[in-house]
Chains A and B, each alone.
Chain A
Amino acid sequence: MIEIHNIHKSFNGKTILDGISGVFETGKTNLLLGASGTGKSVLLKCIVGLVKPDIGSVTFDGTYFTNNKLDIRQEIRRKIGMLFQGSALFDSMTVEQNVEFPLKMLTDMNKSERMDRVNFCLQRVGLENANNKMPSEISGGMKKRVGIARAIAPNCTYLFCDEPNSGLDPQTAITIDELIKEITHEYNITTIIVTHDMNSVIEIGDKIFFLYKGKKLWEGTNDNIMDNQIPELQDFIFANRLMRDAKKVEDERDR
């Protein structure tokens, strides 16, 4: 369980996060939902400590993180798997070496155990034949998937994914969503996913936090997100026609 309390962050006098609190439960896929530029990535970085919040605190399973000693923070970080919005693959290493890297650094598996795990993870994200390619030789969507494979390779306790399925075709996007949901439930991971994909919201939104202009406007689940009475969230959800039509049909049926 990850708890965040009253997180504030501003860059050059511009407030990005304006007092966000919340609890991300273990074994659930927690979604951070919000429009582009609302500070979702910044919040994720505040939680893992890559960005230092101006005010506020983060605790991982009861252990205070934000301003704690470096070795305690590193201890927690070794249990974190993270997918960055831009994938952040190590560009001097092949796909295989990228996925192997955290295993090499964080576990004491031997070479053949590591390779088994690497191939297993690459297969889970649907990349069987890319082992020896360099990151510069693969597509954006493939990079995303390698990033996910790297994040889940060591059995992490906390998983953070910044837009895991942006840039993927609908089918692969669903596969990735399912994968994240599956491992979250199977290994009882605390997962936080940044997204603006309504499909993911409906498919895997065990818990949903809606951010708007630096504040948390709504929290709930995929079951009750359609019933919300927040105009900003309504606008967000029903921005596309398909969703509007779906709602119309539902409303008519209710009547």
Chain B
Amino acid sequence: MLQHFGKYLLFLKSLFARGESSNIIFKRTIDEAILIGVNSIVIVAIVSTFIGAVTCVQVAYNLDNAFIPRSTIGFMVREMTLLELAPTITSIVLAGKVGSSIAGGLGTMQITEQVDALEVMGINSASYLVLPKILASLLVFPMLVILAMFLSIAGGYVAGTLSGELTAQEYTSGIRGDFIPYNIVFALIKSVVFAFLISSIASFRGYNTSGGALEVGAASTTAVTNSVIAVLIADFICAQLLL
């Protein structure tokens, strides 16, 4: 375990050893960012809309008390979405989607000697392949989290009003009441931390694949499980440090 962690740190260091020109890294980052964004936008949209809807219905069910104003439901959906659901659930979904694709892609490149081919050309393959993926994740994850926030709150609105649990006015007044802007900052900080963890752990697992197709599959699975655990631990630490 400790050995793996040490290797992981050395791997991160190798990303910065005599890399390619920043121009090339920048172009590659944009390409990767588009790829990550396009590939995950649909799943993020679906998951966050439903999470918002479910949260709203369940909170309404639990707050079946005449003394609590109905707008509290909207308030709670917003708070849960901003603080936890949007950044963390989105990141866990992305750990599955982006993490496995990064690990699978790099693993395949490794076992088919594409990484060796880069190395023989005198290119630092770690920095050329991995750095753009990490930078792209740092860029795209927060955007996806913001999208998830909107859709989750909208999902709550639709579910709440359609099921007749509360009126549109109650919901909007709920989501506008006692708003703390710092919560958004907190969520975005978390999303950046998670982006780094997921992309770097998945890259580490994929880049260090050796063997054949079986090992590539194993690397993808390990990448996802490891990064989900890392996200949850980091979630706890962020909450302790930043709230």
User: A residues within 8 A CB of B24?
Assistant: 105
Could you tell me if B113 and A88 are in contact, using CB atoms closer than 8 angstroms?
yes
Stretch of B39-47, B118-126, B167-175 with 4 or more beta carbons under 8 angstroms from chain A: B118-126
User: B residues within 8 A CB of A105?
Assistant: 20, 24, 121, 123
Give me the interface of A with B, judged by CB distance under 8 Å: 45, 48-50, 70-71, 73-78, 80, 82, 84-86, 88-91, 102, 105-106
User: A residues within 8 A CB of B2?
Assistant: none
Q: A75 and B122 in contact (CB under 8 A), knowing A70-B17, A70-B18, A91-B112?
A: yes
Contacts A78-B121, A80-B122, A88-B116 supplied; 19 other A-B pairs, CB < 8 Å: A45-B116, A50-B119, A50-B120, A73-B122, A74-B18, A74-B122, A77-B122, A78-B122, A80-B120, A82-B120, A88-B112, A88-B113, A88-B114, A90-B109, A90-B117, A91-B112, A91-B114, A105-B123, A106-B121
Could you tell me if A90 and B122 are in contact, using CB atoms closer than 8 angstroms?
no
User: B residues within 8 A CB of A70?
Assistant: 17-18
Complex alpha-carbon distance, A78 and B119, angstroms: 9
Within 8 A of A (CB), among B89-121: 108-109, 112-114, 116-117, 119-121
Chain B: CB-nearest residue to A102: B121
Could you tell me if B112 and A86 are in contact, using CB atoms closer than 8 angstroms?
yes
Complex alpha-carbon distance, A50 and B115, angstroms: 10
User: B residues within 8 A CB of A76?
Assistant: 122
Complex alpha-carbon distance, A48 and B113, angstroms: 14
CB-contact partner of B113 in A49, A75, A84, under 8 A: A84
Interface digits, B1-45 against A, CB 8 Å rule (1 contact, 0 not)?
Answer: 000000000000000011010001000000000000000000000
User: A residues within 8 A CB of B109?
Assistant: 90-91
Complex alpha-carbon distance, A106 and B124, angstroms: 13
Q: Chain A's nearest CB lies how many Å from the CB of B17?
A: 7
Q: Chain B's nearest CB lies how many Å from the CB of A121?
A: 15
Could you tell me if B114 and A82 are in contact, using CB atoms closer than 8 angstroms?
no
Could you tell me if A48 and B121 are in contact, using CB atoms closer than 8 angstroms?
no
Chain B: CB-nearest residue to A50: B116
Complex alpha-carbon distance, A212 and B124, angstroms: 34
CB-contact partner of A90 in B17, B114, B124, under 8 A: B114
Complex alpha-carbon distance, A82 and B118, angstroms: 10
Could you tell me if A84 and B119 are in contact, using CB atoms closer than 8 angstroms?
no
Chain A: CB-nearest residue to B21: A105
State the 7 A-B residue pairs at the shortest beta-carbon distance, nearest first. A77-B122, A78-B122, A88-B113, A74-B122, A88-B117, A82-B120, A84-B113
Q: Chain A's nearest CB lies how many Å from the CB of B171?
A: 46
Complex alpha-carbon distance, A78 and B124, angstroms: 11
Could you tell me if A71 and B18 are in contact, using CB atoms closer than 8 angstroms?
yes
Interface centre among A73, A75, A86, A105 (most CB of B within 10 A): A105
Cross-chain pairs A/B with CB under 8 angstroms, 8 sampled: A50-B116, A50-B119, A71-B18, A77-B119, A84-B113, A86-B112, A88-B117, A105-B20
